[in-house]
Amino acid sequence: MKKNSQPSARNHRTRQRLRIGVDTGGTFTDFIVISKEQQFTFKVPSTPRAPAQAILTGLARAFDELRADRDASPEILLEIVHGTTVATNALLERKGARTALITTAGFEDVIEIGRQARPDLYNLSVTRPAPLIARELRFGAKERVGADGEVIEQLRQSEVKALVKTLRQAEVESIAISLLFSFANPEHERRLAEMLAALDVPISISHQILPEYREYERTSTVTINAYLAPRVSRYLQELTAGLAQSLPKQQASQLRIMQSSGGSISAETAAREPVRTILSGPAGGVVAATHVGALAGCADLITFDMGGTSTDVALCRGGARTTNEAQITGLPVAVPVLDIHTVGAGGGSIAYVDAGGALRVGPESAGADPGPACYGFGTRPTVTDANLVLGRFAGGGLLNGEMTLDEFRAAAVLDQLAAEMSRASGTVVTREEAAQGVIRVANANMEQALRLVSVERGHDPRRFALVSFGGAGGLHAAALAASLRIPRVLIPNYPGAFSALGVLLADVSKDYSRTVMQVVESGSKLPRTIEQEFHVLERQATADLQAEGFTTAQSRLLRSLAMRYRGQSFELEISAAGDPLAQFHQAHRERYGHADPQRAVEIVSVRLRGVGLSEKPVLPRAAQLKRHKAKAQREALVWLDGKRKRVSVYDRAELQPGATIAAPAIIVEYGSTTLVPSGWKAAVDGWQNLLLDSVRSLA
Amino acid sequence: MDSIKLEIYRSLYSSVAEEMGVSLRRTAFSPNIKERRDYSCAVFDRRGRLIAQGDHMPVHLGSMPMSVQAAITHCKLGPGDIVVLNDPYAGGTHLPDVTMVAPVFAAARGKRAESSRNHDAAAHPLFYVANRAHHADIGGATPGSMGTATEIYQEGIRIPPVRIVRGGELERDILNLLLYNVRGREEREGDFAAQMGTLRVGAERLLEIVVRYGFKEADEYAGHLVEYAGRLMRRALALIPDGVYEAEDFLDNDGETDDPVRIAVKIEIRGERVVVDFAGSAPQVRGPINAVAAITVSAVYYVFRCLIPGDVPASAGILDPIDVRTPEGTIVNALPPAPVAGGNVETSQRIVDVLLKALAQAVPQLIPAASQGTMNNLTIGGWDFRTGKEFAYYETVCGGMGARPGADGISAVHTHMTNSLNTPVEALEYAYPLRVRRYSVRRNSGGRGRYRGGDGVIREIELLTDARVSLLADRRLMAPYGLHGGEAGKLGSAELLIADQKHRRGHVAKRKKLPGKFSLSAHAGDRIVIETPGGGGCGIE
């Protein structure tokens, strides 16, 4: 357990809050507890079969801890924010509810046909994920709405009644409704939902979940929602009941759930709209990174979360971006999702020489089982083995020495790889050369991901900081930053509970949108109807935020427009503050290198994000920063730039704010190791962040 | 050669091609490009050899290098130049596929381009970048430029390699000449701009690589990548038992006569090399299904690339160990002025079917039964009363995939030489005076067998205005074959539901069976129903 006393907290509100962030992972459930007096983090083992169990165990532990610190007064309002994988896992394992789908008659197969493409071009044994709902449970309603919202064929009452009867007989546990052009005219969907309410199962309605065009993507999204709703709702009820039982002394507790968009939402809403949570796994880290980065003076940053099998990167310019084009296991999820790019390179990625003689790393990973060779069981070289062979763990093992690493085993698998590389290239490749090659190739893969979110989208990496928080990232971050000419790397505090901190920091947010398809000729102004559309969404958002407990003063309404040139198919999301038309041309030029202000612009959708500003826990900051040279713990021999070098090793837990470290150096901590290569220097800031700065000119 | 650098350059060059693709898709105007992704982007070394191509359209694979060669041969390329072409007989495929090629010079940046060109006339390009995109219309007799024809002149404007940008300056005259000969001028202009913008993106990225690693190494590894792909292909060939494998299959007809059109192949595998000989294939035909040699090469390329396990950089090396022989004047290597619109989309599929049928004798455990074997090219064009402009809608319709040894074929999916997406109904009805009445899986159309062929689909579209409707489709008479005792997939079909114009509006007065290839005029209220073929089955049920 890690503790920070916080003597100088601001006394800002009359009501005292106790906040707990909980992030459920595959192996551990992470907790961060923040009260007025103190904050601490810990882990408990996850309980995948009954995920609520681990949370209740952890909460009990948190309260024991607090009582010991005479803090658990019954007056406190308990606020729990939770990042959950219940929805994600149910989808990945295909263990959702028996769900029916109602579409416009003649379009029952839209989710089966998809976009008619195959996921892999040159693979004769390619497969496509089966639709979530089998043909027998997809029903057509005779009705039709046209592109302008006009009713072409009325939905007859007799038709609805027949459907209700059929669905009752089908004994479904959940229903999805997605009719053509429901975003333009939701009347038919509404009527169906009203009548189907008699069946007393959750109903997911497309114009409510996602009133945007493209029937396959919308139907897929609403289908996923319906498929997950009963299970997620059960889980959240269980958890809420468990909370009520185990915390009888608390006057009130509030449970919020992390969404994929980087905002949280009440448990009730999450139970209704679980599709908004399925890609929330990596969101906590990104939110925490933007918060910690802003405090440290890096508002523009690229997050770099390197784990065992993959690496997530996201570009945040004054905040994280969202996208509406996400997919999970090949199924589109068109609700806002943090724009995180994932690449199949991580510490466990396996290196091999292919039939053509190229050294490949990943995407196959040794995972947790068998794991890298140096963990004792794996038989193939991984990135972690390469790092070990090069001495980059500074001889200390992992997790503060709780886990020893088998250097001989790592050396043996890299010797094998070196032999293969020698055969392929016709020259002698040593073990260390092979290991450095593995790291260079892994870095090249991760660099492509970083380039994709920055350079390829018109952003100059030199204006960004790289925030690295994955367990495996510290050894690679500086090298990657150098290759992209990123001048600063920030390795935040709270390495063990960074995601949990993120879910706790997340504001409450609700996304609203509607496809409107309005053309704006060049030289014209935004049509007035756009303003009206925003008003409608804003009324809804204000009411919803109030229901979540936010006053107008605590709320923000962020307007944006999805725009494109008339005739294009992909939109850019532009803030509706200021002059959105000018901003659109500008953004098009930035992103694609050309723009044409003479062309008519089309406003595809109006979008609104309602934000309830959560009260942010104050992170402890050193009262003053005294610059001093950190004291090295010991020295280690490490391969750097092709040579074996003597490198100072520091223990991060010992580093005080203001400490500076010269390269080359290795900084070890529980769960992570950071390499400060030559050309860089390191310092600890007032929040205990580790800052790596390039000392070379990057101009 | 260094195994590490080889991998790093593989990843560098292929990400340039992929980025060009993303940029093109997101900025294009033709539904064919932006929604259906009917395009390809590629990077070539200074000798014009393909070193990377995005995973876009297989049918463009073998033919992109010929475009670059044609551009180099026909035009003296300087910094800031862009060549445009679509002539199937000079590096193209069929007329709607417009290709743009740009040389990448060390100094080719911004306005200095013109001056540096004068100063350093001897400078050679470091790389070439190219892209090809299927435009919604390129002129000719039929809206959408994919109709029936007997000469290439009826199929649209034919563009030999010409410079559309010189020294960074757009040749407005040439652009206008093109724009005045196509339908949907504004949309075409936007697509041309998108294609040119994409080339600039590609050039910029390549120059960044040169700045970072130096041209000497970048060029050396471009060469290594070509050899690398060649090694992978030779490995794959070595695993196929030596022997001579022959097969034939037929296209239904050419749309002009009723004669089936034969495609024959003899594949001779000897160690790490293969000769693919199309001798015995039918002479070129009157109708628009002739394939130019580039397409035949693409189909061969596709099939053999599918036999290499794992991913391979799409580089010139893949074809090194493969000797493709296409007799001139035949359906697989047509000569001008034969019409070719369907060669790219229909004949290419049949060439794949024939190749796979032959290879099924050599490596039966890897080869699927015939897939739908057509792209069901549907074009509807006319006057859009809502916008007061002409429109041209073009789309390919998916079908059944052939069963694999060990797995059913996928239903409702594009196979082999295309992977273009459908147009969402909600995008289509917004953009065109059309209404989709039905879009469903055509149940039980896949061939029966131990493993079942995938099912085709049914797509029914109502015209909201009078329009010209064209279909280029096949497998209406010659069913997709099954393998190892599996049954053939069901034939495709098309039907026109003629609306009752007098008495009961919105009701069908008459149904008319249509052939696989036609162009006809239809009226508002009429509906066209396309049923696409199922895939063949595999093994005895």
**Which one of B41, B426, B461 makes the best mutation probe of the A interface by having the most chain A beta carbons within 10 Å?**
B426
User: What tokens were used for A113?
Assistant: 């046909």
Mean pLDDT rounded to a whole number for chain B: 92
What A379-382 contacts at long range (C-beta under 8 Å, 24+ apart), as own/partner pairs, is: A379/A413, A380/A350, A380/A351, A380/A352, A380/A413, A381/A350, A381/A351, A381/A352, A381/A410, A381/A413, A381/A414, A381/A416, A381/A417, A381/A434, A381/A438, A382/A347, A382/A348, A382/A349, A382/A350, A382/A351, A382/A438
Q: Is the pLDDT of residue A67 over 60?
A: yes
Distance, CA of A630 to CA of A634 (rounded, Å): 12
Would you say B338 and B290 are in contact if contact means Cβ atoms under 8 Å apart? Answer: yes
Q: Per-residue pLDDT for A9 more than 70?
A: no
H or E element: which one contains B82?
A: strand B82-85
3-state secondary structure of A467: strand
B409: pLDDT strictly greater than 90: yes
What Rg value do the Cα atoms of chain B yield, rounded? 23
Per-residue model confidence (pLDDT) at position A10 = 35
Structural tokens at position B339: 């019409």
Q: Over the stretch A632-662, which tens digit does the pLDDT of each residue have? A: 999 999 999 889 999 999 999 999 999 999 9
pLDDT for A18:
85
Q: Which of A524-528, A585-589, B122-126, B317-321 has the highest mean pLDDT?
A: B317-321
Chain A: closest CA distance from residue B201 (Å) = 7
Q: What is the tens place of the pLDDT at every residue in B322-365?
A: 999 999 999 999 999 999 999 999 999 999 999 999 999 999 99
What the block records as the tokens of A397 is 């093992």
Answer yes or no: is pLDDT of B117 > 80: no
- Residues 6 or more apart whose CB falls under 8 angstroms from that of B435 comprise A146, A152, B429, B461, B462, B464
Q: How confident is the model at residue A369 (pLDDT cuts 50, 70, 90)?
A: confident
Closest CA to A526 of A537, A516, A536: A516
pLDDT band at A11, cuts 50/70/90?
very low
Chain A neighbors of B22, CB-CB under 8 A: 456
- Among B308, B419, B438, beta carbon nearest to A117: B419
Q: Tell whether the model's pLDDT for residue A155 goes beyond 60.
A: yes
SS3 B145: coil
Domain A97-223, architecture per CATH: 3-Layer(aba) Sandwich (3.40)
Closest CA to A503 of A171, A55, A7, A163: A55
Q: With a CB-CB cutoff of 8 Å, which residues 2-61 of chain B face chain A?
A: 2-4, 6-8, 10-12, 15, 19, 22-23, 25-29, 31, 34-35, 37, 55, 58
- Confidence (pTM): 0.91
Question: Would you call A196 helix, strand, or coil by DSSP?
Answer: helix
Q: Which residue of A has its CA nearest to B414?
A: A117
Minimal Cα distance from A353: which residue of B? B3
User: What is the C-alpha to C-alpha distance for residues B429 and A616, in angstroms, rounded to an integer?
Assistant: 47
Question: How does pLDDT run across A21-60, given as a tens digit for each residue?
Answer: 999 987 789 999 988 777 888 888 888 888 899 999 999 8
Those of residues 393-432 in B touching chain A at CB distance below 8 A are 397-398, 401, 404, 406-407, 410-415, 419-422, 424-427, 429-430
pLDDT digits (tens, 9 = 90+) for B190-219: 999 999 999 999 999 999 999 989 999 999
Mean pLDDT along residues B129-137: 93
Measured over the CA atoms of residue A454, residue A459, residue A460 and residue A466, the dihedral's sign is negative
User: Are A666 and A649 contacting, i.e. CB atoms less than 8 angstroms apart?
Assistant: yes
Whether A448 has its CB under 8 Å from any CB of chain B: the answer is yes
Chain B residues touching A567 at Cβ < 8 A = 29, 186-187, 190
Find out whether B352 and B302 touch, Cβ atoms under 8 Å.
Answer: yes
The pLDDT, as a whole number, for residue A400 is 66
Question: Which pLDDT does position B378 carry in this prediction?
Answer: 94
Tokens 């960044």: give the residue: B208
The pLDDT assigned to A491 comes to 96
Residue B503 has a pLDDT of 65
Distance from CA of B421 to the nearest CA of A (A): 5
What pLDDT does A2 receive? Answer: 44
pLDDT at A254: 87
pLDDT (0 to 100) of residue B436? 98
Residues of chain A neighbouring B23 (CB-CB closer than 8 A):
592-593
Q: How remote is the C-alpha of B194 from its chain's centroid?
A: 19
Q: pLDDT per residue over A554-592, tens digit each?
A: 999 999 999 999 888 788 899 998 899 999 999 888 777
8 Å CB contact between B447 and B489: yes
Distances, alpha carbon A264 to alpha carbons A225, A491, A504, A612, A614, in Å: 17, 25, 9, 9, 9
Within 8 A of A117 by CB-CB distance, chain B residues are 37, 413-414, 419-421
Out of B7, B414, B441, the one facing A117 most closely (by C-beta) is B414
Nearest chain B CA: its distance from A596 CA (Å): 9
What integer pLDDT is reported at residue A610 of this predicted model?
Answer: 95
- Which of the residue ranges A10-14, B55-59, B318-322 has the most confident prediction, judged by mean pLDDT? B318-322
Measured between beta carbons, the chain B residues lying within 8 angstroms of A128 are 410, 413
Mutate to test the interface with B, among A217, A462, A569, A601 (most CBs of B within 10 A): A569
Q: Which of B1, B2, B3 to mutate to test the interface with A (most CBs of A within 10 A)?
A: B3
Q: Which of residues 582-621 of A touch B (CB under 8 A)?
A: 588, 591-594, 596, 599
In angstroms, what separates the C-alpha of B425 from chain A's closest C-alpha? 7
CA-based nearest distance B459→chain A, Å: 9
Q: Is B112's pLDDT higher than 80? A: no
* Residue of B10, B425, B443, B460 to mutate when probing chain A, most A C-beta within 10 A: B425
Q: What is the pLDDT of residue A471?
A: 79
Residue of A113, A147, A592 with shortest CB distance to B441: A113
Question: Residue A164: which of A125, A194, A202 has the closest Cα?
Answer: A194
What confidence tens digit (pLDDT) does each residue in A370-395 have? Answer: 889 999 999 999 999 999 999 999 87
Average pLDDT over residues A326-334: 92
* Token duo for residue B523: 């009226």
ipTM of the complex: 0.92
Order of strands across the sheet that contains B127-134: B50-53, B39-45, B127-134, B97-104, B82-85, B162-166, B169-170
- CA A303, distance to chain mean position in Å, is 10
- Spatial CB neighbours of A553, under 8 Å, sequence gap ≥ 6: none
Cβ-based neighbours of B17, under 8 Å, separated by 6 or more: B41, B42, B43, B52, B53, B54, B202
For position A40, what pLDDT does the model report?
A: 87
> Which residues on A lie below 8 Å from B232 (Cβ)?
354-356
- Closest chain A residue to B201, measured at CA: A593
Please report which residue ranges of B35-158 form alpha helices under DSSP H. 64-74, 112-119
Residue A511 pLDDT greater than 60, yes or no: yes
The predicted pLDDT at position B46 comes to 95
Q: How many percent of chain A have pLDDT more than 90?
A: 69
Q: Are B383 and B407 in contact (CB under 8 A)?
A: no
Whether the pLDDT of residue B502 is over 90: the answer is no
Does the pLDDT value for residue A339 go beyond 90?
Answer: yes
Among B230-234, B375-379, B387-391, which stretch is predicted with the lowest mean pLDDT? B387-391
